[in-house]
Amino acid sequence: MSGKILIVDDSALSRRTLRRILESAGYDLVEANDGMAALEVYFLEKPDLVLLDLVMKGMYGLDVLVKLREMDQEARVVVASADIQSSTRKMVDEAGALGFIHKPFVSEQVVAAVEAALTKGAIGETN
């Protein structure tokens, strides 16, 4: 599997962890450490998929998701968060995310969620 993935997370540790998992699976990666940078990088790089954290400084991830979908209705976004509340999951789904992966990251679940989002366009919850 290949493709370009934008990792958006204000945690350098989370970005490094996702980079390690996804590079070993053969993906090209670009990164952003906040919402505004994510929108800029998305516009410039046109990634195949965005892995988006919800809780970040500045712009909340859900707001980034809405803006991405306004910019590009075909934007493929998988949300990555430690928030396991069903209300959060519902908001993310309604905003157009294709999937949801939980922190802390498990390599197999991350790769499976990414592959499903890229190939099928929609995935179920992985936990």
CA dihedral 106, 1, 45, 122 (to 10 degrees): -70
The closest of 53, 49, 63 to 13, measured between CA atoms, is 53
pLDDT digits (tens, 9 = 90+) for 5-62: 999 999 999 999 999 999 999 999 999 999 999 999 999 999 999 999 999 988 999 9
Work out the pLDDT band at 2, boundaries 50, 70, 90: confident
pTM of structure: 0.91
Angle formed at CA 39 by CA 38 and CA 45, multiple of 5 degrees = 80
pLDDT digits (tens, 9 = 90+) for 51-110: 999 999 889 999 999 999 999 999 999 999 988 788 988 999 999 999 999 999 999 999
Please, what are the domains in the chain? Answer: 4-119 (3.40.50.2300)
The closest of 119, 124, 77, 118 to 96, measured between CA atoms, is 77
